[in-house]
Chains A and B, each alone.
Chain A
């Protein structure tokens, strides 16, 4: 595998379910991100990790819980979601958190539908 991978690619869950999204980066990067992409809205930054430490929790509801066990893996644990949480969830990584000239590398996303 190369780049940034995400599993599952599609997820349908009920409002009372618990599920997890997984992201893995094979680039040796130090920073990882979770974004939410909804139709006709800009990307919303949810969480940022640098060297496995969370540096940003962007007013995200507690029903979303991130976990970064090492610099290559990032999880998003989901529980008691709402229908408005249906969206594409994108994981990204970058070489360094603060260097301005480094771009982000994105995974293909998980399309989440909450029923």
Chain B
């Protein structure tokens, strides 16, 4: 069965510092990987997705993620965060059928 593990439930970081949110998945077949962001009092919205091709994927708001097949990871990074990046971030995987498996989320808290 597929699963997604987000290794950190909370990540506090100072404004303008870099950040990495970690995501590992388990699957024995090819995967499609997604990162979603949820701002307070809103639904989830897509940040970026990996389908195939280049393992470095760029998304909205300056975020990027790298697919590492050997380590079954899809970590999200941003070189310099802003206060407005404070939100919950969800890693998700699809391998077939119609289900998207979501991780438990990582709350990013950006401090001034």
Binding site for B on A (CB under 8 A): 4, 6, 31, 40-43, 45, 48, 50, 55-56, 90, 92, 97-98, 100-101, 103-109
Report the tally of A-B residue pairs with Cβ distances under 8 A.
54
Known: A48-B98, A100-B96. A41 touches B104 (CB 8 A): yes
Contact across chains for A107 and B43 when beta carbons are under 8 A apart: yes
Binding site for A on B (CB under 8 A): 4, 9, 32, 34, 36, 41-46, 49, 51, 90, 94-105
In whole angstroms, how far apart are the Cα atoms of A109 and B104 in the complex?
17
Contact across chains for B32 and A101 when beta carbons are under 8 A apart: yes
CB neighbours (8 Å) of A98 from chain B are 97-98
Contact across chains for A103 and B99 when beta carbons are under 8 A apart: no
CB neighbours (8 Å) of A100 from chain B are 32, 51, 94-96
- Nearest-neighbor residue (CB-CB) of B94 within chain A: A100
In whole angstroms, how far apart are the Cα atoms of A98 and B98 in the complex?
5
